[in-house]
Amino acid sequence: MTDSPAGFVVTVDPGDRIHFLDWAGQSTGDTPSGDTGVLLVHGLSQTAWIWAPVARRLAGSVPTVAMDLRGHGLSDAPTEDGAYALEILADDAIAAAEGSGVLTDDRMVVLAGHGFGAIVAAVAAAHLGSRCAGLVLVDGGWESMEASTGVDADEFLRGLDEPPEVMRSLRAFLADRRAFDPATWDDDQDRAARATVVETHAGRVVPATRPHALEACVRAMFTYDPRPTLAAVEAPIVGLVAEDDEAGTRTLALAATSIERAAMGARRAAIRVQPVGSVGHNLMRYRPTDVTDAILSLTRSTS
């Protein structure tokens, strides 16, 4: 098992660099055999490190990489208009899969995305057609955001600000993240949390995700219509559902209905719904085994 994955970049037009963590072991020649690889895509304001609990479980079985979306983590943050359109983000995901070697002429890829990353993964899966072996939607990707949240992009953006007391110091920020579920807090969670903020000279912390990139990603997220996207995905789809999010606003019945409507509207085979209990949105932290099993269920070979 890889203790600390190597980081690499792939360059996309017009020269933007997309960073990924190589859990596949390709840099050391320890890549597991098999005809399916895995690409993991994080959500808003996160980085590839949020996938560590799942990536560690996958890496011994299938070639696995986790990417940083543009504007997040160590990927570039272009400022051009349209630089964060869903089609471009999806192309970045495909470039990371191909550049890392988890997607080749002889190897298909399972795409797994969390929250906003599930939307990006879904669009990428539609682009890939028969080269995609499966799509795992981790608590997202099956809903129209405006319909499901009841707010528009501007109001959603206003709700993303952290309380001032959480951002007063790195220690306060990490304590807040640890308090979500102390039993699951470990070195990986500490690393994932630290990757999302920058400590200022005054000792406060600010979000590491570039403000222009976050706003552009949110606006792109609110353009997403799951029906035509999921209709274009040829591969099997699994949707993992947290019965309650941190705000306690989601029920399994509501989420399952949304997924069923998305599948029916897309006129495709049913999306397999997998409930994971009343836990928070970060299923990679709270239910890593369930997420791992869902991904492995879609791989063609785990030898």
Tens of pLDDT, residue by residue over 228-245, are: 898 899 999 999 988 765
89 pLDDT higher than 90: yes
Helix residue ranges, H only, the chain: 52-58, 86-100, 116-128, 145-149, 153-158, 170-179, 187-194, 211-221, 226-231, 252-266, 283-286, 288-296
257 pLDDT higher than 70: no
Arch. (CATH architecture) of 6-148+211-296: 3-Layer(aba) Sandwich (3.40)
Residue-wise pLDDT tens digits, 123-133: 999 999 999 99
pTM (two decimals)? 0.92
287 pLDDT higher than 70: yes
DSSP string, 105-162: TTBEEEEEEETHHHHHHHHHHHHHGGGEEEEEEES-SSS-HHHHHSS-HHHHHHTTPP
Mean pLDDT score, 87-114:
97
Mean pLDDT score, 197-208:
96
The values of phi and psi at residue 114, to 5°, are -115, 125
Domain ranges of the chain: 6-148+211-296
Mean pLDDT score, 281-303:
87
Instruction: Grade residue 262 by pLDDT with cuts at 50, 70 and 90.
Output: low
Mean pLDDT score, 164-187:
97
